[in-house]
Amino acid sequence: MARIVDNSRMTLSSYWDIFCRVIDNHGDLGVSWRLARQLADRGIPVRLWLDDPSALRWMAPGGHPGVQVQNWTPSFNWSQMVPGQVLVETFGCEVPEAYVELFVSPLGASQRAWINLEYLSAQSYVERSHGLPSPVLTGAGQGLTKYFFYPGFTARTGGLLREPDLMARQARFSRDTWLSRLGIEITPGERLVSLFCYEPDRLPQVLAQLASEPSHLLVTAGRAASWVRSCPTPKGLKVSFLPYLQQDDFDHLLWSCDLNFVRGEDSLVRALWAARPFVWQIYPQQDNAHHAKLTAFLDWMDAPESLRDLHRIWNALDEGPLPALDLTAWGKATQRACRRLLEQTDLTTQLLEFVNRITK
| Catalytic positions | 28, 265
Query: Dihedral of CA 176/179/184/189: which sign?
Result: negative
CA 340 from chain centre, in angstroms, equals 19
271: left (phi over 0), alpha (psi -120 to 50) or beta: alpha
DSSP 8-state code for residue 111: G
Using alpha carbons, select from 29, 1, 3 the residue that is nearest to residue 14: 3
Q: Are 228 and 196 in contact (CB under 8 A)?
A: no
Are the CB atoms for 20 and 48 separated by under 8 Å? yes
Give the integer Cα–Cα distance in Å for 284 and 121. Answer: 14
Q: CB–CB of 32/59 below 8 Å?
A: no
- Phi, psi at 238, each rounded to 5°: -85, 135
